[in-house]
């Protein structure tokens, strides 16, 4: 199949999953064109069958802001004409699904077989942006007009129907990992370096884009309570608008010497392999890709009972989920895990085994391939 995959380069898990899907499909013999305004975070050069197509958005004095929707639509039309695409797959509804709809209509006026459109919903495109009254009608229309729609969790499927009144069929296809790459490493050098200053007993970790929905302040507070009973160190991986506030909070709590803000890191496997516990007390997660990455590296996760996280984490078996406001409960679970090596290792192994059973590339990507075939054959109902 000839497929154009549209994504943001830097917005959370949607860009990561779209890029990994592009690579996986290319490895499986498809002709893939990844379309974005810049090279995605997880892009890797040299994959046969995979091409990057840049969206150039010119600026004109006539407009107050760049016209990305129009530029993206034009790029989709050009790439489709040049490569005879079978599918345009839009990741993140805003505005990618709308651009795919416009491109389809333009191409339909020129050909009896325009590319079919598939939209994958990732979370905040529905729960935050898409449900805003300024965008809701357009987002709902674009989803209804897609030839096929997928969501990364059952929770997100329900949220889409509730928030936007969408009643069409939505296929749930979860996020995934290349499990041969996401596994715990035996190299302990990073862990030793992190603990060199004080000889810490445990490393607690958080990875995100530090937006309000990630509640990095809650991460610091949970760690403060853990630190009262366990000689632990907190490693904060990532960057974003709430980083400075989290740094100030850590300083105000007297934790500056025990918290490392290390910025964005490409090799998250190395960092996760140094961790004993992963905290994800988010206000909302439609799936929780960071939790999945930690679990695959045998790191127990303590997370909020929100969105799709209960679909990823089996409470008490592969990790723990708590009410979002139960900061004390999360801290106590963390202390229990860090004090009990056997429990921590058992949950870590169970988490890894569950990821291998449900969320590896070779399990999930064929579901996308089948979905594309169903869309092309007209077997998907709107």
Domain CATH code at residue 145? 3.40.50.2000
Q: CA-CA distance, 59 to 66, in Å (whole number)?
A: 5
Residues 333 and 195 in one domain: yes
Residues 258 and 306 in one domain: yes
Residues 259 and 137 in one domain: no
Residues 36 and 161 in one domain: yes
Residue 184 lies in a domain: no
Residues 303 and 226 in one domain: yes
pLDDT at 375: 97
Residues 20 and 74 in one domain: yes
Its domain, for residue 38, covers 2-176+361-376
Contact 285, 209 (CB under 8 A): no
Residues 277 and 295 in one domain: yes
Residue 138: both structure tokens together: 């357009």
Residues 165 and 198 in one domain: no
pLDDT at 256: 93
Residues 117 and 212 in one domain: no
Residue with tokens 């760690």: 223
Residue 229 lies in a domain: yes
Residues 154 and 207 in one domain: no
pLDDT at 29: 97
Residues 198 and 62 in one domain: no
pLDDT at 92: 86
pLDDT at 241: 95
Q: CA-CA distance, 78 to 382, in Å (whole number)?
A: 27
Residue 155 lies in a domain: yes
Residue 382 lies in a domain: no
Contact 166, 143 (CB under 8 A): yes
What residues contact residue 178 under an 8 Å CB cut-off, 6+ apart?
A: 20, 24, 360, 361
Domain count, the chain: 2
Residues 141 and 125 in one domain: yes
pLDDT at 130: 55
Instruction: Report the candidate in 75, 33, 68, 67 with the shortest Cα–Cα distance to residue 50.
Output: 33
pLDDT at 99: 95
Contact 221, 246 (CB under 8 A): no
Residue 381 lies in a domain: no
pLDDT in tens, the chain (382 residues): 999 999 988 756 888 899 999 999 999 999 999 999 898 878 888 899 999 999 988 776 666 666 889 999 999 999 999 999 999 999 988 899 999 999 999 999 887 789 999 999 988 767 666 566 777 888 889 999 999 999 999 999 999 988 888 888 999 999 999 999 999 999 889 998 988 877 789 999 999 999 999 999 999 999 999 999 999 999 999 999 999 999 999 999 999 999 999 999 988 999 999 999 999 999 999 999 999 999 999 999 999 999 999 999 999 999 999 999 999 999 999 999 999 999 999 999 999 999 999 999 999 999 999 999 999 999 988 7
């Amino acid at each position: 199949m000839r497929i154009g995959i549209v994504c943001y380069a830097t917005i959370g898990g949607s860009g990561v999953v779209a890029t990994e899907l592009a690579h996986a499909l290319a490895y499986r013999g498809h002709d893939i064109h990844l379309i974005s305004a810049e090279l995605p975070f997880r892009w890797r050069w040299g994959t046969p069958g995979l091409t990057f197509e840049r969206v150039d958005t010119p600026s004109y004095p006539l407009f107050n802001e760049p016209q990305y929707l129009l530029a993206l639509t034009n790029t989709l039309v050009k790439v489709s004409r040049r490569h005879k695409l079978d599918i345009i797959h839009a990741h993140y509804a805003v505005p990618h699904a709308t651009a795919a709809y416009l491109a389809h209509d333009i191409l339909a006026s020129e050909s009896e077989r325009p590319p079919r459109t598939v939209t994958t919903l990732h979370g905040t495109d529905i729960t935050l942006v898409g449900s805003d009254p300024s965008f809701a009608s357009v987002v709902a229309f674009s989803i209804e007009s897609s030839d096929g729609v997928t969501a990364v969790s059952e929770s997100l499927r329900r949220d889409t129907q509730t928030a936007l009144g969408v009643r069409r069929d939505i296929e749930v296809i979860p996020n995934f990992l290349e499990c041969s790459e996401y596994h715990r490493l035996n190299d302990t050098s990073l862990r030793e370096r992190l603990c060199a200053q004080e000889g810490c007993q445990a490393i607690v970790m958080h990875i995100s884009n530090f937006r309000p929905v990630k509640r990095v302040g809650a991460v610091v507070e949970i760690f403060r309570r853990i630190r009262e009973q366990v000689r632990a160190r907190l490693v904060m991986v990532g960057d974003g608008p709430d980083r400075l506030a989290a740094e100030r909070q850590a300083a105000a709590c007297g934790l500056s010497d025990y918290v490392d803000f290390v910025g964005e890191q490409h090799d998250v496997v190395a960092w996760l392999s140094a961790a004993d516990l992963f905290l994800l007390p988010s206000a909302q997660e439609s799936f929780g890709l960071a939790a999945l990455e930690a679990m695959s590296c045998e790191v127990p996760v303590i997370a909020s009972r929100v969105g799709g996280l209960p679909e990823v984490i089996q409470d008490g078996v592969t990790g723990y989920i708590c009410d979002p406001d139960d900061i004390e409960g999360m801290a106590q679970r963390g202390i229990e895990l860090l004090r009990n090596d056997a429990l921590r290792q058992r949950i870590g192994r169970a988490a890894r085994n569950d990821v291998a059973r449900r969320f590896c590339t070779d399990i999930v990507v064929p579901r996308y391939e089948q979905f594309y075939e169903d869309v092309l054959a007209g077997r998907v109902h709107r």
